[in-house]
Amino acid sequence: MIGPLIFAAALAAQACDPSAALSGQAGAKCRVGEAALAAGYEKSGEAFAPAKFRQAAKPGAQPAARNREEDRVGQALDAFEAGDYRVAEQIWLMLLAEAEAGENQSGSIHGRQYRVAQALLPQGRAPEAVVLLEQAMAGAQEAGDIAQLITILNTLAEAYFDLGRYADSAAILRPFYERSRGGARLTYANNLARALDGAGRYADAETLLLEVVAGARAEDGQLFSQPHALARNLFNLARNLAAQGRHSEAGELFAESAALTVERRPPGHTDIIAAHSFLARHKLLAESDGSGALEAARTLSANLNAYLGESTGGEIDRRQSIQNAGEPLDLFTLHVEAAWAVANGG
C-alpha cells in the first residue's frame, strides 16, 4: 500500500513542482532547495522561491545541451503557471520528441507525455490529453515510477471528468481520498466531489466540499498554502449548491470566488474566465440581476479576449472550449445577453 507521504509528494508534483522533470546534479540541488522551502527555511527575511532553486541548479560545468534543456523545462513550467498553455504545450512537445528520440538528458517519455497532456486540458482538449495520459500511465507502470504514476492518475481523472466520464473519474479518485490524510485528503476530496457532482450525487459531493472549503479557509494566506485553492474550492461548492437549487448561497460563493480569482490570477487566465462565466450566468438566470451580470460579463469578456489573442499572438483556436467555462463564442454571447438585460431593465 502506498503511504500518505507518497500521496502528498505526488500532489506537490501535480502542482507544477519545478524540479519534477530534473535529474542528476540539477535535480538534486532543486530537491534540496524544495526540502528547505518545505521546512520553512528563510534567508535575509525572504523565503526561497522554486524559481530561485531552478536558476541555482544550472552549474556551468554541465554540458551546454543539458543547460538548454533545463532552460526550456523552466520556460514551460513558467508559461503553464502564467496561464500561457499553448506556449507550454509547444515547448513540452519538442521535449517529448527529443525524449522519444533518446536525446533528452533529464526527462522520461512518460513524464513528457504527462506534461503535454497537462497543458492540453485547460485548452479544452481533453480527448487528446486522455490518449497521452493513458500512454503515460502505461509507461510509468512499466518503469515502476510510482510517484509519477499517482500524478498521472490524478490528471487522468480530471481528463475523464472533462469528457463526462464521471464514474471513471470517481473510480480513480476514491481510493486516493480514502487512504490520504491532511492536505492531500482535502485535494482528493475536492476532485472526488466534482466527479460525484457530475454523476448527479449532489448531497455526497456537498459533504466533501464543505470539508474542503473549511480547510481552504483555515489555510488561506499561510506560508505554504496554495494561493488559488480557496477560490477554486468556493467555485466548486457554488456549482454544487446551484445544482441543488440553493441559489442564494451559491450566488454569494460565486461572487467571492470570482473576486479572489481576479485578485490572484494573471489577466486572461482560464480560472478568471470560468469563475466569471458562472457568476454572469447565475446573476442572469437565478438572481435576475442584469447590472451584476453585466459587470461580471465585462470582466469575463476582457479576460477571454486576452486569452484568445492579445497575449498569445492569436494562436488559440476560437472553436475550442475552455476548461470549466465553455465555448468562446458562447461566452461572448453571454456578455451580449447581460448587456441586453440591463438595457431592458432585466
**Rounded Cα gap, residues 258 and 26, in angstroms:** 39
8-state DSSP, 180: -
Please give the Cα distance from 65 to 60 (Å, whole number).
11
Predicted TM-score (pTM) of this structure: 0.62
Per-residue pLDDT tens digits of the chain, which is 346 residues long: 333 333 333 433 333 333 333 344 444 444 444 444 344 323 323 232 333 333 333 333 344 455 688 889 999 999 999 889 999 999 999 999 988 988 877 789 999 999 999 999 999 899 999 999 999 999 999 999 999 999 999 999 999 999 999 999 999 999 999 998 887 888 889 889 989 999 999 999 999 999 999 999 998 888 777 888 899 999 999 999 999 999 999 999 999 999 999 999 999 999 999 999 999 999 999 999 999 999 999 999 999 998 887 655 556 677 778 888 988 999 999 999 999 999 987 6
Q: Return the pLDDT at 316.
A: 67
Task: Give the model's pLDDT for residue 129.
Answer: 96
Q: Given this model, what pLDDT does residue 314 score? A: 56
Return d(Cα 4, Cα 45) in angstroms, integer.
32
Output the nine-digit C-alpha cell for 120. 492540453
Per-residue burial over 252-289, b = 16 or more CB atoms within 10 Å of its CB, e = otherwise: ebbbbbbebbbebbeebbbbbbbbbbbbbbbbbebeeb
C-alpha cell of residue 238: 457554488
Distance CA 275, CA 272 (A): 5
Q: Supply the pLDDT for residue 336.
A: 94
Q: What is the pLDDT of residue 323?
A: 80
Q: What is the model's pLDDT at position 313?
A: 57
